[in-house]
Amino acid sequence: MKIAVMGATGTAGSRAVQRLKARDFDVVEVSRSCGIDLVTGEGLTDALADVDAVVDASNVGPSDDPRKRRGAVTTATRNVVDACTKQQVSRLVLLSIVGIEHPAFDRFEYYLAKREQEAIVENSDLNATLVKTSQWHEFATNPAAVTFHADKVEVQDWLVQPVAADAVADVLVQEVLKPSNESRVLITGPEQIRLPDLTRRLLDARGDSRPVHTTEPYFLELKEGVLLAPAEARVVGPDVEGWLSTVN
Ligand SMILES: NC(=O)c1ccc[n+]([C@@H]2O[C@H](COP(=O)([O-])OP(=O)(O)OC[C@H]3O[C@@H](n4cnc5c(N)ncnc54)[C@H](OP(=O)(O)O)[C@@H]3O)[C@@H](O)[C@H]2O)c1
């Protein structure tokens, strides 16, 4: 079986690639650094020749211009769906985020882009599954909510229930290897935590003594847990302590 991973060098994509290779699957790695551009479409259709299934764990930019980024995400997703259709790829698993449907995000360009990305995939004729996860433990340093300065670290006060990127990759691999019987799989971690606490614990584990300053989030709802997964989400470990024991 031949599987293509979009975003093969990213946090989630690289973990999916590693797992698939360890199981001896033929893996096509897709990213600009691998010579394939999802936004321009350069090299994409050719790369999917003889591919049976695709994991889309890409995260296209630019990150400094939310409007342009939204356009890039939707263009890239249309290009992925079109290339899959042309090459008769039978299965597509798209990585996305839980909670983005909430009206609080109706003017939040990145989550609007993710909603549009989900709709393009769900409205296609592909055998598709969305894997929607809560924030990852690795989000503890994500520039979307965390700003590093020489003498302090500022972290927005989001209430999250993080899941490890390794666990997300395990689920992506499970899903891409089986025919779709669920159109959406929701994943979260075992433990709720405020993002500044998560960042603090990670910095402690790394021996970084910079103070963590809590800042107001983009929206009040983030503080109240708008991005927590619904009760039906699958809970996958490790918890924060278990994850910290694996990072350096
Ligand atoms: N972080 C979280 O907590 C979280 C939670 C839930 C869901 N997600 C979702 O998970 C997905 C992956 O996130 P991530 O943090 O793993 O991403 P990431 O580490 O930023 O990696 C992004 C990947 O996309 C590739 N890429 C970017 N632009 C590209 C282009 N034009 N053409 C081809 N490849 C391109 C990058 O490679 P090149 O730069 O070499 O092109 C890289 O391999 C995103 O859709 C995100 O919304 C994230």
Which protein residue has the closest C-alpha to ligand 1 atom 12? 57
Got the DSSP string for 122-182?
A: HTSSSEEEEEEE--BGGGGG-TTTEEE-SS-EEEE--EE--B-HHHHHHHHHHHHTS--S-
Residue with structure tokens 């249309």?
A: 78
In short, whether 156's Cβ falls inside 6 Å of ligand 1 is no
Average pLDDT, consecutive stretches of 10 residues, N- to C-terminus, the chain (248 residues): 98 98 98 97 98 98 88 97 96 98 94 97 97 98 97 98 98 92 95 98 97 96 96 96 92
pLDDT for 90: 85
In short, whether 136's Cβ falls inside 6 Å of ligand 1 is yes
pLDDT for 179: 79
Cα–Cα distance for residue pair 212/193, rounded to 1 Å: 15
Residue 26 phi/psi, 5-degree rounding, is -80, 115
CA distances from 153 to 118, 137, 156 (A): 33, 17, 10
Best residue among 18, 31, 68 to mutate for probing ligand 1, ranked by most atoms within 8 Å of CB: 31
In short, whether 162's Cβ falls inside 6 Å of ligand 1 is no
> Do 15 and 53 touch, CB atoms closer than 8 A?
no
Tally of domains within the chain? 1
Which protein residue has the closest C-alpha to ligand 1 atom 3? 135
Residue 30 phi/psi, 5-degree rounding, is -115, 120
pLDDT for 66: 86
Domain at 189, CATH number: 3.40.50.720
Annotate 204-243 with b (16+ C-beta within 10 A) or e (fewer): eeeeeeeebebeebebebbbeebbbbeeebebbebbbeeb
In short, whether 9's Cβ falls inside 6 Å of ligand 1 is yes
Best residue among 18, 32, 163 to mutate for probing ligand 1, ranked by most atoms within 8 Å of CB: 32
Residue 9 phi/psi, 5-degree rounding, is -100, 0
Report which ligand 1 atom has the smallest distance to the Cα of 40.
31
> Do 241 and 162 touch, CB atoms closer than 8 A?
no
For residue 160, list its beta bridge partners: 193
For residue 5, list its beta bridge partners: 29, 55
pTM score of the predicted model: 0.97
Cα–Cα distance for residue pair 171/15, rounded to 1 Å: 11
pLDDT for 180: 77
Domain carrying residue 39: 2-244
Cα–Cα distance for residue pair 40/179, rounded to 1 Å: 29
